[in-house]
Amino acid sequence: MKLMSEGELLDEKSWKKLAMHTRCSVCHCRGWKLMCDSESPYVITSAFLDSVLFSTPCGTCKHSLGRHLDSIREKKKNDVRKLLLMMSDAEKMQERLIGNESSEILQIVQQTQRALTKEIGNGSSGGLATCSFGLPPFEPISIEDIVSNFIINKSGGKQKELENITETASNFLLAVNDWNIPHVKEMREKLSYSKLLYYRIIYARWLRFCSLPKKHESLRPYCVIKIFGRKFLITLLPFFVIDLKERASFVEDQIIEKLINFASDLRKNLSSDDSLTNSSVMLNFPEGVSRPTLEQGCPIWATESHLDITAHFFEADLASRESEQSNSSTHLEVGFVNESLMMRFIARMELTRRASKPPVHKMDAFEVDVARSEVSRLEECNGIISFHVISNNFDADQSRQKLTWLLQLQCLFSAQLPRMPKEYITRLVFDNRHKNLIIVKKERGVIGGICFRQFPTQGFIEIVFCAVTANEQVKGYGTRLMNHLKDYHVGAYHIYHFLTYADEFAVGYFKKQGFSEKIAMDKKQYHGYIKDYEGATLMGCQLHPWIVYTNFAGCLKRLHDLYRNAVKESFFEDQKKCPGVENVFQWHEGSLVPYAELPGLEQCEDELMPHEELEHKIRIILHKLRADKSAWPFLKPVNAEEVPEYYGYIKFPTDLKTMNERCRAKYYVHERLFVADLRRLFNNCFKFNAPKTLYYKAGYDLAEIARKLCQKAFPYLDIYPELPDAKPEV
Active site residues: 462
Residue 559's region, left for phi above 0, alpha for psi from -120 to 50, else beta, is alpha
SS3 of residue 439 by DSSP: strand
For residue 180, what are the contacts with CB-CB under 8 A and spacing of at least 6?
A: 211, 301
Dihedral, CA of residue 429, residue 435, residue 439 and residue 440, to nearest 10: 70
3-state helix, strand, coil in the chain (%, to 5): 55, 5, 40
614 sits in which H/E element: helix 611-627
For residue 445, what are the contacts with CB-CB under 8 A and spacing of at least 6?
A: 404, 405, 408
Neighbours of 408 (CB within 10 A): 18
Phi, psi of 405 (to 5 degrees): -65, -40
Q: DSSP assignment of 489-557, as one string?
A: HHHHT---EEEEEE-TTTHHHHHHTT-BSS--S-HHHHTTTSPP-TT-EEEEEE--TT--GGGHHHHHH
Angle between helices 230-246 and 193-206 (to 10 degrees): 80
Please give the Cα distance from 629 to 620 (Å, whole number). Answer: 16
- The DSSP bridge partners found for residue 440 are 386, 446
Please give the Cα distance from 36 to 60 (Å, whole number). Answer: 5
CB 662 within 8 A of CB 668: yes
Neighbours of 228 (CB within 10 A): 29
Nearest to 211 by CA among 304, 290, 109, 299: 109
206 sits in which H/E element: helix 193-206
CB 101 within 8 A of CB 215: no
Phi, psi of 578 (to 5 degrees): -110, 115
For residue 431, what are the contacts with CB-CB under 8 A and spacing of at least 6?
A: 392
Please give the Cα distance from 205 to 228 (Å, whole number). Answer: 9
Please give the Cα distance from 407 to 404 (Å, whole number). Answer: 5
Please give the Cα distance from 675 to 336 (Å, whole number). Answer: 13
Q: Where are the beta strands (DSSP E) in 611-687?
A: none
* CA torsion through residues 198, 203, 206, 208, sign: negative
